[in-house]
Structure 1
Amino acid sequence: MVKILHTSDLHFGRPAVAAQLDSLKGSIAEISPDAVAVSGDLTQRCSTSEFLKARAYLDSIEEIAPVIVIPGNHDVRWIGAVARQLGAVGLVGRSAHDFKYSKYIRYISPELNPSLEIPGAVIASCNTAHGIARGSLTRRFRDLGVIGHVNKRDLKKVEEAFSKAAPDAARIVMIHHNPIKGETSGRHGLANTKQALEAFERLGAELVLCGHDHQEAVHTVQEYAPGIVISTAGTISNRLRAGRPSSFNLVTIDDTELRITTYAWQHPEGFAPAREHSFPRSAASRSA
């Protein structure tokens, strides 16, 4: 059995809650997962001090289990994203791209699309946090810089990671933005949800890990990517949707079943199992 603890949206800075972060770390030690997946938004304002706190926290988790992490929209320097599109302030092309992610690269990881293979599973990340970018534009002004998208270059990273993995490994994609419309927010996190999920399905993914919406949710996709399961982790910060507690998800996978258990914050006891979803694994996914 494979155990992956999936958390997201830690938001180091003002929204961070020390008690919840400590409880999350305690849960990781107690559960002893095979891997910890952190699907973005480590910081609130992309500041150096916030990244330093996030780095120290990730280091402490890595003493317990391997960690895979990707950037979220709050981890991108917006001025670099604008410069990338406009060629402004003397930053053009690759230089603007590097500046946009410079703090994340310096303090968290130089790899924006990391992958991690553990016995029984491979997690391939696909960066969706591009800031203000053409692929992320929608008709709604409020989406500017908040919505993400999946591009072909980053999909190639997923394809490469899957091709190198063991044939019987469960294939998992991690992104930041939620491809399923949030129950409370009423919007998708991706500008190209349909194309992204179709691409993941073609590559053989059976599970997508994401965050961004600050609301825990578990879905299956039937319309354009049949059988893919979506694990949306809630936030560990105080930036909560109305009536929703802080939470994380625990994914367990065996030969026949994929199970997702949501652990919700129950002060003062800490995080505790709140609900569980189970899905049968298809014969194709088990012999991919």
Structure 2
Amino acid sequence: MATFTLAHLSDPHLAPLPKPRLSELVGKRAFGYLNWTHNRHKIHRRDVLDALVSDMLAQAPDHIAITGDLVNLALEAEFAPSRAWLESIGTPERVTVIPGNHDAYVRATQNRFAESWGSYIAGDETSDHGAAFPAVRRRGPLALIGVSSAVPTPPLMATGWLGPSQLQALAKTLAGLAAEEAFRVLLIHHPLHSDAHNKRLTDSSEALALLKQHGVELVLHGHDHIHSATRVEGPKRQIPVIGVPSASALAHGRHPPAAYNIFSIRRDGAAWRCEQIVRGINEARRVREIRRITLS
């Protein structure tokens, strides 16, 4: 079987931020806007994102996965530019997206990401291109399983939640895929483990129980804006769980500069082989290979 390459980036936090209407700057958005104008606009740079995406496209991956936080405050004016950005990367056949907490920042626009990016989110069997999770997309030997942990939260909170209905549907999806000879990739915005109480996946124990019972080959996430590599229990072996920094960020504090991953996946007899290539931006705003890791 030929090698299939999957690129993964996350948390582009697209800049510039459109000027909000005064009526939009209430509650959580007011805090977020102050944070953006005082801090985050210095960190999340469009030139950095453009350089990273240009390098990624030059690698000609077979498919691209983006695990959320395309926008910042979920303003109405942010969604049309985010759709245009997706279209500049590729068609829905070549790009899969799931939402992050910033994409469902407030209740007023918590469903706008689904309306704007529907064809990039929808599973293969979703006829209306709507956002129904979990969404399964088969690309080459891969079964991409998109879930949504994106829910509106109070100020200063960035937690995620799958919820009983989505977990129940995910259990059925994973059980069905277990019988297939597919490389299963779970896409989720929040990490499955987090030490930060205000940023955690609140029902992670339930999600971990499903993975332990049914298994997947790989879990990809964003949210923490750092390089992350952990493993969780599966039914037969441990499952690699890989996080990636923000795709638009300059280095700040403990957070590294923008990076993305490419996974080279192939079938070798009865086993899957997967190699991770990490590429990131340096101080000269040039993208280079950081390291290669054999995952399985």
For residue 292 of structure 2, the aligned residue among 255, 276, 280 is 276
Contact 2:69 2:99 survives alignment (8 Å): yes
Where structure 1 has 5 or more consecutive residues not aligned to the other structure, the ranges are 81-98, 134-140, 281-288
2:45 maps to a residue whose letter is V
2:189 maps to a residue whose letter is H
> Which residue does the alignment assign to 2:30?
none
- Offset from partner CA, 1:177-212 (integer Å, 9 cap, x none): 011336xx6986311223212212323312111000
Partner SS for 2:295: strand
> Which residue does the alignment assign to 1:105?
114
Give 1:150 shift: 2.4
> Which residue does the alignment assign to 1:263?
279
> Which residue does the alignment assign to 2:122?
none
Query: CA separation in 1, counterparts of 2:250 and 2:113?
Result: 21
Contact 2:45 2:250 survives alignment (8 Å): no
Query: CA separation in 2, counterparts of 1:48 and 1:268?
Result: 34
Query: CA separation in 1, counterparts of 2:202 and 2:240?
Result: 19
With over 3 angstroms needed to count, the CA separation of the structure-2 counterparts of 1:226 and 1:166, relative to structure 1, is closer
For residue 53 of structure 1, the aligned residue among 81, 84, 95 is 81
Query: Between Structure 1 and Structure 2, how many residues are aligned?
Result: 250
The TM-score normalised by the length of structure 1 is 0.76
With over 3 angstroms needed to count, the CA separation of the structure-2 counterparts of 1:247 and 1:189, relative to structure 1, is farther
Alignment of 1:146-225 (within 5 A): 146-155=158-167, 156-157=169-170, 159-160=172-173, 163=176, 167-181=180-194, 189-222=200-233
Alignment of 1:21-36 (within 5 A): 21-36=49-64
Query: CA separation in 1, counterparts of 2:59 and 2:217?
Result: 23
> Which residue does the alignment assign to 1:116?
137
1:5 maps to a residue whose letter is A
> Which residue does the alignment assign to 1:248?
260
Partner SS for 2:138: strand
With over 3 angstroms needed to count, the CA separation of the structure-2 counterparts of 1:6 and 1:225, relative to structure 1, is farther
Give 1:161 shift: 7.3
- Offset from partner CA, 1:221-276 (integer Å, 9 cap, x none): 25999511111011012375524111111122222422222211124353221122
Query: CA separation in 2, counterparts of 1:52 and 1:127?
Result: 21
Partner SS for 2:194: coil
For residue 99 of structure 2, the aligned residue among 71, 89, 95 is 71
1:18 maps to a residue whose letter is R
With over 3 angstroms needed to count, the CA separation of the structure-2 counterparts of 1:162 and 1:59, relative to structure 1, is farther
CA-based RMSD:
2.9
For residue 45 of structure 2, the aligned residue among 17, 30, 46 is 17
Give 1:129 shift: 0.9
> Which residue does the alignment assign to 2:150?
129
Q: Quick check: 209-218 or 265-274, which moved more?
A: 265-274
The TM-score normalised by the length of structure 2 is 0.74
Contact 1:36 1:65 survives alignment (8 Å): no
1:169 maps to a residue whose letter is A
Query: CA separation in 2, counterparts of 1:186 and 1:241?
Result: 21
Percentage of matched positions with identical amino acids: 23
Query: CA separation in 2, counterparts of 1:248 and 1:60?
Result: 17
Contact 2:48 2:249 survives alignment (8 Å): no
With over 3 angstroms needed to count, the CA separation of the structure-2 counterparts of 1:179 and 1:224, relative to structure 1, is farther
> Which residue does the alignment assign to 2:34?
none
> Which residue does the alignment assign to 2:238?
227
Contact 1:178 1:188 survives alignment (8 Å): no
Contact 2:264 2:275 survives alignment (8 Å): yes
- Offset from partner CA, 1:136-179 (integer Å, 9 cap, x none): xxxxx95x3x1112223223157437736982210111011011
- Offset from partner CA, 1:38-79 (integer Å, 9 cap, x none): 001010111133222211111011159711101111011423
- Offset from partner CA, 1:5-39 (integer Å, 9 cap, x none): 01110111344422222223322322111211000
Give 1:120 shift: 1.0
Query: CA separation in 2, counterparts of 1:25 and 1:53?
Result: 16
Partner SS for 2:289: strand
Q: Quick check: 210-219 or 149-158, which moved more?
A: 149-158
Contact 1:172 1:208 survives alignment (8 Å): yes
Partner SS for 1:254: strand
Query: CA separation in 2, counterparts of 1:161 and 1:226?
Result: 16
